[in-house]
Amino acid sequence: MNPFEGLTFRTSPAINAYFNEYYHWKPAYDMGVRSVPEAQLLHGNTRGQFLWWKNQLDFTRSFGKHHVAATAVHHGGTSFYRYLDGSATGFPYEQLNVISQSLPDGRRISGGEARGGELSLLGRIIYGYNSRYFVTASVRRDGSSNFGPRRRWGTFPSFSAAWKINEDFLQHVEQVNLLKLRVGWGMAGNSGIGAFRYQTVLGNPDYFSPVFGEGQHEVYAMNELLSSGNPLIKWENAAMTNIGLDMNVFENRFQFSAEYYVKNQSDLIMEVPISMIHGKGFPWYSADPLANIAEIRNRGFDFDLQYKKMEGNFTYSAFANISTVKNEVIHVPSTLLSDNNITRVGNTIGSIYGYIAEGIIQESDFDEEGNYLHAVPVEGVPEPGDLMFRDLNLDGTINDADRTIIGKAVPDFTYAFGIDGYYRGFDISLFFYGIVNAQVYNYERSMTECIMRQDLDRNKSADWAANYYGKDGNPSTEYIRADLNDTNRNTRISTWWVDEASFLRFKDVQIGYTLPPAFSGRIGIRQARIYISGMNLYTIMKYRGYDPESPLNSEDPSSVGRDRYMHPVPRTLTAGIQVNF
What is the full DSSP assignment across 474-542? ---SSS-B--TT-TT-TTSSBGGGEEE--EEEEEEEEEEEEPPHHHHHHTT-SEEEEEEEEEEEEEEE-
Rounded CA-CA distance 104/89 in Å is 9
Please state the separation of Cα 115 from the chain's center in Å: 26
Task: Give the Å distances, CA to CA, from 500 to 267, 444, 547, 552, 562.
Answer: 31, 15, 11, 12, 12
pLDDT tens digits for range 458-489: 788 899 999 999 988 899 999 999 988 888 99
- pLDDT above 90: residue 380: no
Determine, yes or no, domain membership for 69.
no
Is 50 exceeded by the pLDDT of residue 9? no
In-domain check, residue 8: yes
pLDDT for 334 equals 87
**pLDDT score of 222:** 65
Report whether pLDDT(32) > 50.
no
Residue-wise pLDDT for 165-223, tens only, equals 998 888 888 899 999 999 999 999 999 888 888 888 777 666 666 677 777 777 766 67
Distance (Å, whole) CA 75 – CA 119: 6
User: Of the ranges 139-143, 450-454, 493-497, which one carries the lowest mean pLDDT score?
Assistant: 450-454
How big is the chain, counted in residues? 581
Residue of 167, 159, 174 whose CA lies nearest to 133: 167
pLDDT at 20 over 60: no
Instruction: Tell me what pLDDT residue 227 has.
Output: 79
When pLDDT is averaged across residues 453-458 and rounded to a whole number, the result is 60
Average per-residue pLDDT in the chain? 86
Instruction: Report the C-alpha gap between 201 and 194 in whole angstroms.
Output: 13
From 41-45, 175-179, 345-349, 519-523, the region with the lowest mean pLDDT? 519-523
**Position 406 pLDDT exceeds 90:** yes
Q: Is a pLDDT exceeding 90 seen at residue 526?
A: no
Q: In the chain, pLDDT over 90 holds for what percent of residues?
A: 54
Among 29-33, 268-272, 299-303, 312-316, name the one with the lowest average pLDDT. 29-33
Q: Is residue 53 part of a domain?
A: no
Is 495 in contact with 446 (CB distance < 8 Å)? Answer: no
Q: What is the CA radius of gyration of the chain?
A: 31
pLDDT at residue 24 above 60?
Answer: no
The residue range of the domain holding 8 is 1-33
Number of structural domains (the chain) is 1
Task: Return the pLDDT at 7.
Answer: 42
Question: For 324-361, how does the pLDDT look when each residue is reduced to its tens digit (9 = 90+)?
Answer: 999 999 999 888 887 789 999 999 999 999 999 999 99
pLDDT (0 to 100) of residue 221: 63
Per-residue pLDDT averaged across 28-47, rounded? 65
**Sorting pLDDT into bands at 50, 70 and 90, what band is 1?**
very low
Flag whether 3 is in a domain. yes
Q: What is the pLDDT of residue 279?
A: 66
447 within a domain of the structure (yes/no): no
Reply yes or no on whether the pLDDT at 134 is more than 50. Answer: yes
Going by pLDDT thresholds of 50, 70 and 90, the confidence category of residue 35 is very low
Look at residue 258 and tell me if it is in a domain. Answer: no
- CB 413 within 8 Å of CB 324: yes
* pLDDT tens readout for residues 54-112: 999 999 999 999 999 999 999 999 988 898 989 888 888 767 778 888 888 888 888 88
Does the model's pTM come out above 0.85? no
Residue 21 lies in a domain: yes
Position 1 in a domain:
yes
